[in-house]
Amino acid sequence: MSETIENICPLCGRPLDVPCNKHHLLPISKGGKHTPTILLHKICHDKIHAVFSETELKRNYNTIESILQQEEMQRFVKWLSKKEPSYYDKSVKMKK
């Protein structure tokens, strides 16, 4: 059975597996409550919120393409690409 694009994490490109989270490209706190979401691995979602503030996400990083242009996110995706799809590291902390 072939994978469809919906079965791939748009951030890391690995097959989706639990745990997963919905990510609002426009943060809820910045007016994104009823905007579209994308499904990401929880570790990918946590990393986005560890690297970027809600304001940065709204202003500069509201697409997967723009998030992937940031150097720390590129390093993270390269590192994560070697992990199993179900890998989750609880040490990834959200930015306060």
Residues 27-32 have a mean pLDDT of 90
What token pair was written down for 62?
């509201």
Question: Across residues 61-70, what is the average pLDDT?
Answer: 96
CB atoms near residue 65 (< 10 Å): 9
Residue 65, both tokens = 């393409």
What predicted TM-score, i.e. pTM, was given to this entire model?
A: 0.84
How does pLDDT run across 67-95, given as a tens digit for each residue? 999 999 999 999 999 998 888 877 655 55
Contacts of 89 (CB under 8 A, 6+ apart): 43
Residue 79 confidence (pLDDT): 95
What mean pLDDT comes out for the span 13-28? 92
